[in-house]
Amino acid sequence: MMRRTNKRLGQGLGLVLAAFALTASVTPVESAHAGACASVQRYAAGFAAAADSVVPADGGVLFVPTLVSGTRRPAAPGASTTPEESLRRGTRALRSERVELAPGWFVLRPQRRTTGAITGLIGTEQRAFVAGPASTEPLPPPVRPSLRYYPSRQVQGPRGPSTTSEYNSLALGGRAPAGAYGVVVRSVTAEGSPAAADGFALPIDTPEQTSFTFSPSGGRCQPSRPGNVASHGQDVEVLFVDAVGRTSEAVAVRVR
């Protein structure tokens, strides 16, 4: 009787262990990396114009924030602090003027009149361009731009309350001119000069695009966009820039 009972207990225990093993084999196990981003992303300087583009004397090589994967190695002690972005003609570095448009957006323009082949460099990356004469037609300015500020606010979601990010909404009264690459919104100082370290710029995705939204907050797996939101009542100016560094006249706007 005792042997039969022990045998039944052993069979029962075996079934329980088998069922547990089967359940463990088909039940997903959360790893330490569950929900992690596939790659680390950051914004780095990139070229706006295609290779072999003609860069006019009243323009320059436009650098814009470009989303890339991976992290930049920290600079070694005693490493050179020379800016990574530069212009060259052959093997000779060109003295260049750096024109700041908005955070992450800037133009390098040769200080002396230059024609012919030049090269733009970003660290070890390079791109060939052709320096040409000044353009004969100016880039038209934005038509009736309107800028609004929307503050952050709390919203109720399925998982409880959360806070939205503040943002700006920009509306244009007409299409951007042919060739326009981006629209720039920058603050104006008390003296009336542009504050290039402030504001933001956005690429123009389609020729028909007349509305834009900017928020510096990135997504869960994306970094924050370079730039700053313009506050209600702030005086700013709005202008266009094309891929070869030409800018339009600026239009003064007060943020609503």
* Segment 106-144, tens digit of pLDDT: 999 999 999 999 999 998 999 999 999 999 999 999 999
Assigned domain for 13 exists: no
pLDDT at residue 17 tops 80: no
Question: What per-residue confidence (pLDDT) applies to 196?
Answer: 61
Assigned domain for 168 exists: yes
Pair 181, 248 in one domain:
yes
pLDDT at residue 14 tops 60: no
Pair 108, 168 in one domain:
no
How far, in Å, CA of 39 to CA of 32, rounded?
16
Assigned domain for 234 exists: yes
Q: Please provide residue 49's backbone torsions phi and psi, each rounded to the nearest 5 degrees.
A: -85, 150
* Segment 33-67, tens digit of pLDDT: 435 677 778 899 999 999 999 999 999 999 999 98
Between residues 191 and 66, the one the model is more confident about: 66
Question: What per-residue confidence (pLDDT) applies to 223?
Answer: 85
Assigned domain for 12 exists: no
Pair 201, 151 in one domain:
yes
**Mean per-residue pLDDT, 11-33:** 38
pLDDT at residue 182 tops 90: yes
Assigned domain for 136 exists: no
Pair 121, 180 in one domain:
no
Domain count within the chain: 2
SS3 of the chain: the string is CHHHHHHHHHHHHHHHHHHHHHHHHHCCCCCCCCCCCCCCEEEEEEECCCCCCEECCCCCEEEEEEEEECCCCCCCCCCCCCCCEEEEECCEECCEEEEEEECCEEEEEECCCCCEEEEEEECCEEEEEEECCCCCCCCCCCCCCEEEEECCCEEEECCEEEECCCEEEEECCCCCCCCEEEEEEEEECCCCCEEEEEEEEEECCCCCCCEEEECCCCCCCCCCCCCCCCCCCCEEEEEEEECCCCECCCEEEECC
pLDDT at residue 217 tops 90: no
Question: What per-residue confidence (pLDDT) applies to 194?
Answer: 67
Pair 117, 158 in one domain:
no
pLDDT at residue 89 tops 90: yes
Assigned domain for 249 exists: yes
Question: What per-residue confidence (pLDDT) applies to 153?
Answer: 86
* The residue type at 158: P
How far, in Å, CA of 140 to CA of 184, rounded?
14
Q: Which residues contact 231 (CB under 8 A, 6 or more apart)?
A: 149, 255
Pair 114, 52 in one domain:
yes
* The residue type at 117: A
The boundaries of the domain holding residue 56 are: 41-68+83-131
**Mean per-residue pLDDT, 171-199:** 86
| Other Cβ atoms within 10 Å of 216 Cβ, number | 17
**Mean per-residue pLDDT, 202-212:** 97
Band of residue 29 on the pLDDT scale cut at 50, 70, 90: very low
Question: What per-residue confidence (pLDDT) applies to 143?
Answer: 98
Pair 108, 175 in one domain:
no
Contact between residue 223 and residue 129 where contact means Cβ atoms under 8 Å apart: no
pLDDT at residue 22 tops 50: no
Assigned domain for 7 exists: no
Structure tokens at 193: 């000069």
Pair 126, 97 in one domain:
yes
Question: What per-residue confidence (pLDDT) applies to 67?
Answer: 87
| Other Cβ atoms within 10 Å of 29 Cβ, number | 6
**Mean per-residue pLDDT, 224-230:** 92
**Mean per-residue pLDDT, 149-172:** 88
Pair 200, 247 in one domain:
yes
How far, in Å, CA of 95 to CA of 109, rounded?
8
How far, in Å, CA of 198 to CA of 214, rounded?
13
Question: What per-residue confidence (pLDDT) applies to 37?
Answer: 75
Pair 185, 91 in one domain:
no
Q: What is the CATH number of the domain that holds 233?
A: 2.60.40
Q: Which of 12-16, 198-202, 203-207 has the lowest mean pLDDT?
A: 12-16
Pair 160, 244 in one domain:
yes
Whether pTM > 0.75 for this model: the answer is yes
Strand partners, 240: 183
Pairing between β-strand 180-188 and β-strand 154-157 as defined by DSSP bridges: unpaired
Assigned domain for 27 exists: no
Pair 228, 194 in one domain:
yes
How far, in Å, CA of 67 to CA of 44, rounded?
6
Question: What per-residue confidence (pLDDT) applies to 83?
Answer: 61
